[in-house]
Structure 1
Amino acid sequence: MVVTGLLTLAMTVWAYRSQGWHRAALSLVAAGALANLIDRSARGSVTDFLNLHFGDWHFFVFNLADIWISLGAAFLLGLQIIPQKNKITSIP
């Protein structure tokens, strides 16, 4: 739990020092990690309560914190794929 707490703290500091959309994406990951850390420290394990299934075929079992982490990670990947506009403007 100590290592998880330190990694969550590092992610939070990284989000705080970031700007724009990167801050939003990193904040989602940090919030999900913190929620899972709180759940693990209170109960001894993370409680997954959302069961995505089709009949007898079970796709995933997850919780809301997992959604935030996944959305933040996907958002970060999207920010790397989408070309960024040049922040430096030329003076005519």
Structure 2
Amino acid sequence: MDKVRNAVLPNDTLKKRASGLRYLWVTVLLVVIDQLTKVWVAAEYELYESRAVIDGLFNFTYVHNYGAAFSFLSDSGGWQRWLFTAIAIAISAVLLIWLRRNPVNFWRQNLSFALILSGAIGNVADRLMYGYVIDFLDVHYQGWHWPAFNVADMAITIGAALMLFEAFVDNRRDDEENSK
């Protein structure tokens, strides 16, 4: 049977059919971790409660973010919920299309898309279920505080950084080296 399949579809064709959608396991795993951590924080903490994890550097602080990154537009009356939800859904659709079109061996780009997709889905789930995003990771140092964030935000940030890195690396060169 394999000889017949290989005669009809050579190995090169079979490899090309494998797409970046194989990286969706990363997306699913991170969405689950993101949602579980948010459920845990909402159950264990009172709103605005803060507990030191690493004294003077890192806290768990339960907050609601009605805006986007850095609470952008958080006090705009509610319309921003739907704007950010629509943007995240549109970006998610584009990332899924790119993942489908990408060869599986474009691992850096596929991984970056999967990470960004997981963050978008995690935060959209919050906006749809609660009307806000649950943030709880609080980094600070000597009175300076980074805005609270969550696992989905970390995935988006790491995915964007990887995407920038990948932009400077030519995947086709990797393909040529691997085929030798």
- TM-score tier by shorter-chain length is 0.7 to 0.9
Q: Residues 80-91 of structure 1 correspond to what in structure 2 (within 5 A)?
A: 80-84=167-171, 85=173, 87=175
Q: Deviations over 1:52-86 (max 9, x none)?
A: 11142102311110100011110011111235526
- Looking at structure 2, the residues matched to 67 and 44 of structure 1 have their Cα atoms a distance apart, in angstroms, of 20
Distance 2:96 2:161 in 1: 17
How far residue 13 of structure 1 moved from its aligned partner, in angstroms, is: 2.1
Query: Which of 104, 115, 122 is residue 35 of structure 1 equivalent to?
Result: 122
In the alignment, structure 1 segments of 5+ residues that lack a partner are none
Is residue 7 from structure 1 mapped to residue 7 from structure 2 by the alignment? no
- 1:25 maps to 112
Superposition TM-score, scaled by structure 2 size: 0.44
**Is the radius of gyration larger for structure 1 or structure 2?**
2
Q: Distance in 2 between matches of 1:82 and 1:7?
A: 23
Q: Whole-Å Cα distance in 2 between the matches of residues 10 and 86 of structure 1?
A: 25
State the SS of the aligned residue for 1:47. strand
Structure 2 counterpart of 1:12, one-letter code: L
2:116/2:159 contact within 8 Å kept:
yes
Unaligned runs of 5+ in 2: 1-84
Q: TM-score, normalised by structure 1?
A: 0.80
| Cα distance change of structure 1 residues 45 and 81 upon mapping to structure 2, 3 Å threshold | same
Question: C-alpha distance in 2, partners of 1:59/1:8?
Answer: 26
